[in-house]
Amino acid sequence: MIRKIITHPDSILTKVSEPVSEINDDIRQLLEDMAETMRANTGVGLAAPQVGLNIRVVVLDVDDEAESKKFGLIKMINPRIVAREEEIHFEEGCLSVPNLRVTTSRSARICVCFLDENGKSRELTAEGLLAVAIQHEIDHLDGKLIIDHLSRLKRDLFLKKQKKSAN
């Protein structure tokens, strides 16, 4: 089932999400729905707060052409970055912040631990677009958006413009 995407400035997006304590059929259904919702919106990642739930669940589907590598669908529960290396600058967009592109500074390579949909511990080493996407989605779980990567001046300008178009 495709779920509705929550957009800024909804307060759900700025809350810190809770870890999942029990991986059950509801969580597995949520992961399915999130994957479907992500694909329907041609996104490369989606975090649970973006569909209105403040829990630590993300899905990713990155086709990194630069490395001609297809990672396929990745479902992560309670993801945690345990190692990071070097810096990369990347222009990012977000389904929850339409019409905005932000150049962010991210770690170029990361190692992330998470639980899969069966509750099994997994570890993944990622670089490039996948590494950036994982950091973007974990930001969502911590209540952070791409606008938080803007300079204060650019951020204020964006918020002002958004307020104006809302009135």
Which stretches of the chain bind Zn ion, using CB under 5 A? 94
> Buried (b) or exposed (e) across 27-37, using 16+ Cβ within 10 A?
beebbebbbeb
What residues have CB less than 8 Å from 142, skipping those under 6 apart?
16, 17
CA distance 110 to 113: 10
CB-wise, 38 or 94, nearer to Zn ion? 94
Q: Which of 32, 67, 91, 137 is catalytic?
A: 137
CB-wise, 147 or 159, nearer to Zn ion? 147
- We find the least distance from the C-beta atom of residue 37 to Zn ion, in angstroms, to be 12
Tokens of 116: 């899969």
**Residue 137 bears catalytic tag:** yes
CB-wise, 77 or 94, nearer to Zn ion? 94
- We find the least distance from the C-beta atom of residue 22 to Zn ion, in angstroms, to be 26
Catalytic residue IDs: 137
